[in-house]
Amino acid sequence: MPWVKQLSMASSRNISTNSSQPHVTSKGNMRRTVQPTTVPAYTATANTTTNPAFAVAVGMVNNIINEIPLPRWAIYAIAAVGAILVIVVCICICCKCCCKNTKKTKKKDPKLDLKGLNANTTTALVQPNVTDVDYGAAKKPRGKLLYSLEYNAPHSELIVGIKQADNLMAMDMGGSSDPYVKVYIIPDKSKTYETKVLRNTLRPVFNENFNFQVPKSSLGKSSVVMQVFDFNRFSKHEMIGEIRLPLAEKDLNHVSEAWQELSEPAKFEEENLGEICFSLRYVPVNSKLTVVILEAKNLKSMDIGGTSDPYVKVQLALDKRKWKKRKTSIKKKTLNPYYNESFTFDVNFDLIKRVNLVISVWDHDAMSRNDAMGKIFLGCDASGNQLRHWADMLSNPRRPVAQWHSLLTSEQVNSTLTLKSKVPGKIRH
């Protein structure tokens, strides 16, 4: 029926209208409006309009976490452990890099600046923090000795006075010593004198004089040796310290008296083995080290006839390992050979501070083994005049620097410069 159809359509419109509009009820004169209830949609963030990119990222992370078949606390724990591992690895890498840089800084030697250096620059060039030292240099305080020197020219007599000592090193268990002094002249060493022994004292007073026959012509080559010993009745006497005085450095025209610190005992007694003269020249531009063996004099006699057949061996050592070597010709039956022979070696500037030059004199024997007559070495590991000669060469590039050197025994040199086997084929710069 048409009216029924219209009525149903009207009721459906009212229902749809009431669902979206407030519902009004009346009771008497009072009216109450009921608002429709809506459920707010869940949002991931409180503010999605101000930072949409962040909201998208958070949403993606949440989606990924929801897809992992683990509880959230387990996922968070795994993430925390991973972050800690990453931090620890980063810290270890940083520490390793810092330690590596520190080691490189320590191993790197300062470059030698040859520009602007003069001939007065010696030890500071190759050993910046070390002063020139000689064999038997003092390493710890051993006390001091008061001595006097007097030379009687008409009688060719040297008078050595041993006055007193002070602050001697204690050698006995009770904190004292029983000191006495031994005196002799080298290289002759024909006479040896000893003072009396003074018991239980570190400040002995001797006041004793000793006379030595020393010709005036031998004064320049002689030295006075004063050695202080601690007396032991039933064991070897221990040396407290010694003083070696080259007479060429002393003014013997009048009586002299002086205090001097005792030095560590020398390992080897001085022996006159002769002298050798050679020149050194280093050119950093082409890395050439030139050694010219000029001459030698007063060499030790090795043959029955009172002569020798000397030749000179020139050897380079790198990092105290045998590296390169050459030798001169043999000069027959002479103790004063003249060579004037030149040898050139390729030595890079980076290696010059690691190189030592060993000069040795040998007596040639056709029927037996060659005998060593004397030895000396120069380089950054040397001391005294040898170090000074090497430093003068470095401070005067492209200029030959010649100097005389007194030969030493092989034992003396080998005790300081112990050479190992040959350098490997590949050299590390």
Residue-wise pLDDT tens digits, 118-174:
434 444 444 444 444 444 444 678 999 999 999 999 999 999 999 999 999 998 888
- Spatial separation of the C-alpha atoms in residues 35 and 18, rounded to whole Å: 11
For residue 109, name the pLDDT band (cuts at 50, 70, 90). Answer: very low
Sign of CA dihedral 246, 247, 251, 257: positive
For residue 3, name the pLDDT band (cuts at 50, 70, 90). Answer: very low
What pLDDT score does 116 carry?
41
Higher pLDDT, 418 or 208: 208
What pLDDT score does 200 carry?
93
In 15-92, which ranges are E strands?
23-27, 30-34
- Spatial separation of the C-alpha atoms in residues 37 and 80, rounded to whole Å: 43
DSSP 253: T
What pLDDT score does 268 carry?
61
Three-class SS state of 65: helix
What pLDDT score does 25 carry?
47
Pairing, β 144-152 against β 192-194:
unpaired
**Most trustworthy range by pLDDT among 105-119, 187-201, 213-227, 335-349:** 335-349
User: Residue 378: enclosing H or E segment and its boundaries?
Assistant: strand 371-379
DSSP 294: E
For residue 393, name the pLDDT band (cuts at 50, 70, 90). Answer: very high
Three-class SS state of 262: coil
- Spatial separation of the C-alpha atoms in residues 344 and 281, rounded to whole Å: 9
Give the sheet arrangement for strand 355-363, strand by strand.
321-327, 310-318, 355-363, 371-379
- As a whole number, mean pLDDT of residues 24-31 equals 45
Q: Name the amino acid, one letter, at 94.
A: C
What is the phi-psi region of residue 175: left when phi exceeds 0, alpha when psi lies from -120 to 50, beta otherwise? left
Residue 377 dihedral angles phi and psi, to the nearest 5°: -140, 150
Lowest mean pLDDT among 54-68, 116-130, 268-282, 348-362: 116-130
Lowest mean pLDDT among 52-66, 138-152, 299-313, 371-385: 52-66
Alpha carbon 207 to chain centroid, angstroms: 45
pLDDT tens readout for residues 201-223: 999 999 999 999 998 888 888 99
For residue 101, name the pLDDT band (cuts at 50, 70, 90). Answer: low
- As a whole number, mean pLDDT of residues 38-47 equals 44
User: Residue 363: enclosing H or E segment and its boundaries?
Assistant: strand 355-363
What pLDDT score does 427 carry?
59
When the pLDDT of each residue in the chain is averaged and rounded to a whole number, the result is: 78
- Spatial separation of the C-alpha atoms in residues 50 and 56, rounded to whole Å: 12
In sequence order, what are the beta bridge partners of 165? 145
- As a whole number, mean pLDDT of residues 235-239 equals 79
Higher pLDDT, 415 or 325: 325
- As a whole number, mean pLDDT of residues 230-259 equals 87
CA atoms within 13 A on the CB side of 110: 9
Three-class SS state of 413: helix
Residue 60 pLDDT exceeds 70: yes
Lowest mean pLDDT among 27-31, 151-155, 177-181, 200-204: 27-31
Residues 192 and 184: beta-carbon distance below 8 Å: yes
Higher pLDDT, 36 or 217: 217
pTM over 0.85: no
